Amino acid sequence: MDHRGPRTPHGMAAARISVIVPLGPGQPPPLDLLLHFADERFQVIVSAVDAEPDTLPEAITWLRGAPGRGRQMNSGARPATAPWVWFIHADSVIERSTRRAMTRFCAREEAAIGYCDLKYLADGPVLTALNATGANWRSRLLGLPYGDQGLCLPRPWFRHLNGFREDLDRGEDLDLVVRARRSGLPVRRTGGRIYTSASRYRECGWLRTTLEHQRASWRLIRNARSSIGSGDA
């Protein structure tokens, strides 16, 4: 599969990675995150529910549509022109080293899903460090990263998989990973790190939220596997 990107009219390389950020109703644009990608290697697309703000940098594409994270990420991927699509949640915080790690991963031109290590921000219970450790080990041992770990894959493969399911209230990211692996697309750790909010654990309780996530995750994995036949993922 050829992952070489298009060329600009002046012969300079076009964007190698389309960064797609879904934005929920009333959620302000995460300018610090978006400006991390303010160079020619990235195409930045915000898939939102609300109208475009006047203060948005000109280089960022703003799409407005119906709510639903799976639906919004699919909408964001449609105008993507780069050979790779990188889906990043709006509450994510990344480092320069994360961006460099994903750029190196895509430059290898291996057909695979790249993901980052997860770390929670200090806006929730201290015990969320255990959740991050569990997520990272699950990703390495089982090849099952979540969407808040920044999934990145070749755009042709994303189209081949028919994108994210839009009928799921949550877990569309894990469903995509299971279907991708069953279709022969491997999962690769990039070495980068993504920080994400732990506020849900504070608001709903650490134990309750952890148990809910685990039950929902294994139900999604089981359903995704059964929808594409029997056998190991």
pLDDT value, residue 227: 57
pLDDT of amino acid 57: 87
Give the pLDDT of residue 12. Answer: 41
Q: Provide the pLDDT for residue 171.
A: 85
Does the residue 12 lie in any domain?
no
Residue 7 lies in a domain: no
Domain of 156 in residue numbering reads as: 17-227
On whether residue 213 sits in a domain, the answer given is: yes
pLDDT of residue 221: 65
Domains identified in the chain, total number: 1
Q: Specify the pLDDT at position 200.
A: 80
Q: Does residue 11 belong to any structural domain of this protein?
A: no
In this predicted structure, what is the pLDDT of residue 211?
Answer: 78
Q: What is the pLDDT, as a whole number, of residue 213?
A: 72
pLDDT given for residue 140 in this prediction = 93
Count CB neighbours of 133 within 10 A.
13
pTM: 0.86
Between CA 59 and CA 45 the distance in angstroms is 9
pLDDT of residue 38: 84
Residues of the chain with pLDDT under 50: 1-12, 230-233
CATH code, 221: 3.90.550.10
For 61-164, where are the E strands, in sequence order?
A: 61-64, 84-87, 93-94, 113-120, 152-154
Cα–Cα distance measured from residue 149 to residue 126, given in angstroms and rounded to the nearest whole number: 19
